[in-house]
Every structure is written in structure tokens, then in C-alpha cells.
Amino acid sequence: MKTIKRMLDHMYWADGRILGALEESKTQDKDLLKLARHVAVAERVWLSRLQGKGSAQYSLWEETEDLTAIRKMFEENAEQYRIYIEGLEESALDEMVDYANQSGVPFRTSVRDILSQVLLHGQYHRGQINRGLRMESAEPIQVDYITFARPKRG
């Protein structure tokens, strides 16, 4: 459980950093903004499933220009994941969650695997966003786990 909590802390940190890089770049690239929103919504979708709620009300791939709304969603997600994980016992990681994907197809997946999906999915898309920033000649931001984990200097 300690590793999962630490990885979630990295996710909150990395979400904030990638959003900061998008804000600083002043990008107008709709695909990059759509990816950032997608990460935030996907985190929310998976949390809803973990909480036994439906997720059909969420649209994963909408365009947006509102980075403030995305930041708010990331912050709310972090708060809700912290509450969820603090109430989770180690033994619950192997419990199965029944849910339907966004197309209505039913699945059954362990809590552990869902949390792993959330952590890996966001990192994948943050890499895509960084690549897009570099292509715009903007400075990509370091979001690697090791950067998060290293002791701060200075």
C-alpha cells in the first residue's frame, strides 16, 4: 500500500507540473489541451468505478480551452483519491470491481489493477503532452518519477 500511495503522490505532482507547463507555454494546440482534460476525466472515471458509481456521464475526449477547469478537476481528483486510499485496507487491493466501460461493456477488475491503470495511463499521456510542447518549441517539463522522488536540493 505504501508504494501505491507514493505513486499516487507522484501522479498529483506530475498532473500539476504538466498543467503548469501547458499554462506557461500559452499553447493553443487543441490536441494538447484535449489530452490534459482526458487525463483528468479518466482519473475521475476510474475513481467513480472504484467508489461503485457509474461513469457514463463522463466524456473522455472533449475539446477545451479552459486550463483553469482542468486544474480544478485535477485538484478535486487528488483530494478524492486521498480520501479513497486512506480508507482502503491492503487486503482490499485484490477485491474485484464490477463496472461498465464508457461504451457500456461490462468488466471485472481488481482494485490494484485499476489503480495501476490510473497511474500508468496518466504518465503515458503526460509524455505525449511533453512531446507536443517540444514540437511547439516550448520547454517540456520533467515529470519522471525519479525527479519526484529525489531529495530536493538548495
> Is 92 a member of any domain?
yes
Say if 99 falls within a structural domain: yes
Residue 15 is part of which domain span?
2-149
Confidence of residue 147 (pLDDT cuts 50, 70, 90): very high
Report if residue 97 sits inside a domain.
yes
pLDDT of residue 44: 98
The CATH number linked to 90 is 1.20.120.450
The pLDDT tens digits for 113-136 are: 999 999 999 999 999 999 999 999
Quick check: is 132 in a domain? yes
Distance CA 1, CA 150 (A): 20
Identify the band that residue 139 occupies on the pLDDT scale cut at 50, 70 and 90: confident
The pLDDT of residue 42 is 98
Query: Is the dihedral angle over the CA atoms 152, 135, 126, 68 positive or is it negative?
Result: positive
Whether residue 43 lies inside any domain: the answer is: yes
Summarize pLDDT for 27-45 with one digit per residue, the tens: 989 999 999 999 999 999 9
Establish if 154 belongs to a structural domain. no
Cα 117 from Cα 9, distance rounded (Å): 15
The helix or strand, by DSSP H or E, that contains position 10, with its residue range, turns out to be: helix 2-25
Provide the number of structural domains found in the chain: 1
Pick out the residues of the known binding site: 38, 121, 125
Residues placed in the known binding site for a divalent metal cation: 38, 121, 125
